[in-house]
């Protein structure tokens, strides 16, 4: 079994009581964050596959009464990227700055100027495509897209069923 890291963005704010419920249910497997930019539960979960890890976590989060809006890929720092790709931090920094490589390194997804953070799936895909280096990613991008589509449909079916019906009819082919 491998360990997979990912985050769920939640629909509603998390109270202290909600955070306690999550910590109690998941022990040390989660990190909870709630603030003006959103509400997240971060996971590090062991499973046979990324999909298995995500689906089991979603089931448990829903069982606890929370509404997951989306699964977001793990955010990684330059040091994380260096470790996972066998490069030095300086080498990764040069790729990011365009001083080495094709100059099209993925843009950071979060963080700040001094500590940028990237989605691991974006970085791994870049190394695979631009550097020809196979890094551990499997089908994370397509899995995230499929799960997020299902989560969006789940929410729309309750909050805007007529809109969901129109969407399904339009794309049914």
**87 in the same domain as 43:** no
Q: Residue 76's pLDDT is what?
A: 85
| 104: containing domain | 75-130
| Overall number of domains in the chain | 2
Are residue 63 and residue 100 in the same domain, yes or no? Answer: no
Sequence-ordered list of residues with C-beta below 8 angstroms from that of 155, at least 6 positions apart, any chain: 11, 67, 69
Summarised one tens digit per residue, pLDDT across range 135-156 is 555 567 788 889 989 999 999 8
CA distances from 126 to 8, 20, 37, 72, 91 (A): 24, 38, 28, 18, 15
Q: Among candidates 74, 22, 76, 79, which has minimal Cα distance to 53?
A: 74
Q: Return the CATH number at 37.
A: 3.30.70
Q: Per mean pLDDT, which range of 7-21, 117-131, 157-171 is the poorest?
A: 117-131
109 with 50, same domain: the answer is no
Same domain, 68 and 150: yes
**Are residues 63 and 30 part of one domain?**
yes
Mean pLDDT (the chain, rounded): 85
Q: Are residues 68 and 54 in the same domain?
A: yes
Strand arrangement of the beta sheet that strand 38-47 belongs to: 30-35, 38-47, 2-10, 68-73
Q: 117-127 pLDDT, tens per residue?
A: 888 878 887 88
The widest CA-to-CA distance across the chain, in whole angstroms, is 52
């Amino acid at each position: 079994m491998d360990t997979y890291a990912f985050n769920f963005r939640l629909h509603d704010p998390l109270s202290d009581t909600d955070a306690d419920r999550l910590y109690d249910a998941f022990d040390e497997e989660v990190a909870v964050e709630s603030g003006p930019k959103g509400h997240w539960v971060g996971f590090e979960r062991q499973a046979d596959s990324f999909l298995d890890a995500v689906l089991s976590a979603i089931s448990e989060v829903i069982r606890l009464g929370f509404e997951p809006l989306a699964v977001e890929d793990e955010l990684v720092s330059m040091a994380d990227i260096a470790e996972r790709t066998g490069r030095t931090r300086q080498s990764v920094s040069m790729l990011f700055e365009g001083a080495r490589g094709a100059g099209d390194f993925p843009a950071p997804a979060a963080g700040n100027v001094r500590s940028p953070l990237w989605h691991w799936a974006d970085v791994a895909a870049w190394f695979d495509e631009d550097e020809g280096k196979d890094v551990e990613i499997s089908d994370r991008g397509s899995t995230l897209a499929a799960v997020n589509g299902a989560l969006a449909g789940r929410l729309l079916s309750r909050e805007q069923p007529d809109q969901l019906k129109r969407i399904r009819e339009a794309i049914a082919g």
